[in-house]
């Protein structure tokens, strides 16, 4: 199954996706109401961590997919799929906003890892875009599998460099 086939199935049966991306912000709203000013306490912060991961992973994927489609494939904005490219991003923004109203992100376990992941993905996409614009490597004419392999390779190299660059003296 390819991504195109998966997205076609999602487009034909949007009820599950709509339910998933609506229930997560609703759960964040409900947790905010029930655990008002207690978001930093143990059961709530674990719930918030689960909600953050459930919404951020598809949201980050949607953003990455959008950047790839618009920057490298030069796809028209009118071809944007609402269920796979817009809804995950909006759900992520709404969920993070609702969670932020009740708890500081520093109290949520693993939130720093997601922030680092977003930074590394953004750096990789910017690097790939620079390569594309300077015609060092032309990603638009490559098969998607090759472009994904290059993306993952750059992601690993940048992640390793990030760890080496910001390692503390006590860890070395």
pLDDT at site 140: 67
| Whether residue 116 sits in one domain with residue 105 | no
In contact, 46 and 109? CB cutoff 8 Å? yes
Does 89 share its domain with 139? no
| CA–CA dist 27, 52 (Å, integer) | 11
- How far is residue 163's CA from residue 119's CA, in Å, rounded to a whole number? 13
Gap between the Cα atoms of 81 and 77, Å rounded: 9
Cβ(128)–Cβ(151) below 8 Å:
yes
pTM of the model: 0.72
Residues 103 and 51 in one domain: yes
Q: How many domains does one find in the chain? A: 2
Pair (49, 39) in one structural domain = yes
Half-sphere exposure (CA, 13 Å, Cβ side) for 141?
A: 5
How large is the greatest C-alpha to C-alpha distance in the chain, in angstroms? Answer: 54
Report pLDDT for 166. 67
What pLDDT score was predicted for residue 128?
77
Same domain, 98 and 115: no
Question: What is the predicted pLDDT for the residue at 167?
Answer: 67
Same domain, 83 and 1: yes
Give residue 87's pLDDT. 94
Residues 135 and 156 in one domain: yes
Could you tell me the residue range of the domain that residue 49 belongs to? 1-109
Mean pLDDT in consecutive groups of 10 residues from the start of the chain, 172 residues: 84 92 95 82 87 91 85 82 90 93 84 77 78 73 78 82 65 50
CA distance 80 to 140: 18
Determine the pLDDT at residue 90: 95
Query: What are the residues whose beta carbons fall under 8 Å from the beta carbon of 143, sequence distance 6 or more?
Result: none
């Amino acid at each position: 199954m390819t991504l195109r086939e998966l997205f076609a199935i999602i487009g034909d049966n949007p009820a599950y996706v709509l339910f998933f991306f609506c229930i997560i912000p609703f759960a964040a709203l409900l947790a905010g109401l029930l655990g008002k000013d207690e978001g930093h306490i143990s059961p709530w912060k674990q719930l918030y961590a689960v909600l953050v991961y459930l919404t951020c992973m598809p949201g980050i994927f949607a953003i990455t997919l959008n950047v790839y489609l618009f920057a490298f494939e030069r796809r028209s904005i009118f071809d944007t799929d609402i269920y796979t490219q817009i809804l995950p991003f909006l759900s992520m923004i709404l969920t993070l906003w609702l969670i932020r109203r009740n708890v500081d992100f520093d109290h949520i376990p693993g939130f720093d890892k997601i922030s680092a992941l977003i930074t590394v993905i953004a750096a990789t996409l910017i690097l790939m875009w620079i390569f594309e614009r300077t015609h060092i490597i032309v990603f638009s004419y490559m098969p998607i599998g090759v472009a994904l392999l290059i993306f993952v390779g750059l992601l690993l190299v940048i992640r390793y460099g990030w760890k080496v660059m910001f390692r503390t003296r006590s860890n070395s």
